Structure 1
Amino acid sequence: MKGRAANHHHGRANRAAGFTLLEVLGALALLALLLVGVYGGVRSAIHGVRSGSAAIARVDQIGSAQRFLRGELAQALAQPIAHTDNGRPIYFAGSAHEMRYVAPLPGYLGKLGPQLQVLKLVDDGKGGQRLELQLALLPPDGQPPKPLGEPQVLLDHIKDGGFSYRGRDAQNRELPWGADWADGSRLPQLVRIRLQPHGGYGWPELDVPLRVDPAAAVGRVGLLPGSMLSPGGVR
């Protein structure tokens, strides 16, 4: 009897010291739920960081494109990009989705001298547009411009956009805003770049003054009348 009581007491002690299968499974289930919650939180945090980084990168891209366009257009030069059939020089060509002009590039990129810059809104194949810049050297012997590499994307994921121009005609009459600049022997006084990026990012309407007027003087660079947007100039 004494031995049987001792064995019974030893069995109860073993059960008290261990866990049943149901207890182990329950603990594992709780641990799995805890790990799922932690993983979900970490994944949400990573997604938030990535979204924030992407938004910052997008804002930086838009700002860089605006600064580049404003700086380059403001430095447009009175240098011919082509000639008409009767030999008349063409200094600027502009339409609703493309413009051509000559300007010096900033920094080390400008060591090659003034270059033909072609800004173009092209279809991106995804239901939107992208703004591309193509650079080309202007040979001194009057040969056609030589492209420098592939076009560079200044801004992508654009829902809609266009260019418009304003200035004066050969009789110094003020012209209204238009989607085409017909008189290539003159530079427009103002270029407007309107873009609507995808994702709700803002693009303030960008009006850039061009300071140079090739018709203002012979053999030298002149300033456009009202180019500093004085009260009597174009607004």
Structure 2
Amino acid sequence: MRMRILQGARGFTLIEVMLAILLLAVLLAAAFGGIRSAVKGMHSGEDLMDRTNRLRVAQEFIRHQVSRILPLPFGQERGTGENLLFEGKRDLMRFVAPMPGYLSNGGAYVQTLELSNTRNGRQLLFNHWMLNGFDKDKLNKGDSEPVVLMDQIESGKFEYRKLDDQGELEDWSDDWDEPNLTPVMVRIELKMRKEALVGWPDMEIPLMLDVGAARQSNTVRFDDILPREGMTVPPNNASGSTR
């Protein structure tokens, strides 16, 4: 009886084994491809969230600083001797404003926003120096390391708006021709590269301080705010930081 059962049993043929292996390989390949796609999608989602957060933080910081521009001179024009309150070009703006409390040692700071060219596109850089002792003519890029606010920028520009003699808003201009005055509004336009994953919403930032104050500040000479012999300079941690 046992012999008959053994004689009736039949094993797998070579073709069946090969088909089973092939089917298993296809299933493993599909599973691996799904896992790889899921991991890639997860990393892409994390990159998108990181870039979105970075853009949001950069815009909030820029809006906070530009809107609080102060009509304080950081230098004088050569020849005329007029105060320099605001320097505005297509790819650079320089002004005086308080730093946030967690980044400040007290007092006002000369601040710069600049669009700089790199191999991977343009970068939006931020730099700052304390107003006390600032010398524009002796300024070197190596004096302070700039902070990269945004990168992978394809193109961009800064624009400025002011009031005419009748108190009406003029058109936007990418060249500020009145450095002894502060603008009414500042606009930042950036076109991001495809690799940036995010777009830059155009920013139009009104200044909190009335532009009329900038005209009144011309009566204060730049030399008047510099420390003189015999004067006591307040410490850096004096009150005046702004959050």
The alignment's TM-score, normalised by the length of structure 1, stands at 0.77
Distance 1:204 1:6 in 2: 84
Q: Determine which of 186, 208, 211 is the counterpart of 1:211.
A: 208
Secondary structure in structure 2 of the residue aligned to 1:215: helix
Q: Would you say 1:91 and 2:88 are equivalent positions?
A: no
- Partner residue, 2:176: 181
User: What amino acid is aligned across from residue 114 of structure 1 in structure 2?
Assistant: A
Q: Determine which of 97, 120, 125 is the counterpart of 1:132.
A: 125
- Partner residue, 1:117: 111
> 1:44-123 to 2 correspondence within 5 Å?
44-85=37-78, 86-123=80-117
Which structure has the greater CA radius of gyration? 1
Distance 2:192 2:2 in 1: 83
Distance 1:141 1:20 in 2: 88
Secondary structure in structure 2 of the residue aligned to 1:161: strand
Distance 1:195 1:22 in 2: 63
Secondary structure in structure 2 of the residue aligned to 1:83: coil
Unaligned runs of 5+ in 1: 220-235
CA displacement at 1:168 relative to structure 2:
3.3
Distance 1:150 1:77 in 2: 23
User: What amino acid is aligned across from residue 205 of structure 2 in structure 1?
Assistant: V
Distance 1:154 1:197 in 2: 13
Distance 1:196 1:78 in 2: 30
Instruction: Identify which range, 40-49 or 52-61, moves more after superposition.
Output: 52-61
- Partner residue, 1:168: 163
Distance 1:142 1:150 in 2: 17
User: What amino acid is aligned across from residue 74 of structure 2 in structure 1?
Assistant: I
CA displacement at 1:197 relative to structure 2:
1.4
Q: Would you say 1:154 and 2:149 are equivalent positions?
A: yes
The alignment's TM-score, normalised by the length of structure 2, stands at 0.75
Instruction: Identify which range, 205-214 or 30-39, moves more after superposition.
Output: 205-214
Distance 1:165 1:192 in 2: 6
CA displacement at 1:97 relative to structure 2:
0.6
Unaligned runs of 5+ in 2: 221-243
Cα deviation code 1:110-161 (max 9, x no counterpart): 22532211111111213x3111112223334868568764111111111221
Contact 1:134-1:151 within 8 A present in 2 as well: yes
Distance 2:41 2:187 in 1: 36
Secondary structure in structure 2 of the residue aligned to 1:23: helix
Q: Structure 1 residues 159 and 142, CA, compared in 2 at 3 Å: closer, same or farther?
A: closer
- Partner residue, 2:18: 25
In angstroms, what is the RMSD of aligned CA positions?
2.8
- Partner residue, 1:195: 190
Contact 1:74-1:211 within 8 A present in 2 as well: yes
- Partner residue, 1:229: none
Distance 1:105 1:157 in 2: 26
Q: Would you say 1:34 and 2:27 are equivalent positions?
A: yes
User: What amino acid is aligned across from residue 211 of structure 1 in structure 2?
Assistant: M
Contact 1:116-1:145 within 8 A present in 2 as well: no
Distance 1:114 1:99 in 2: 16
Percent identical pairs in the alignment equals: 34
Instruction: Identify which range, 163-172 or 100-109, moves more after superposition.
Output: 163-172
Q: Structure 1 residues 196 and 38, CA, compared in 2 at 3 Å: closer, same or farther?
A: same
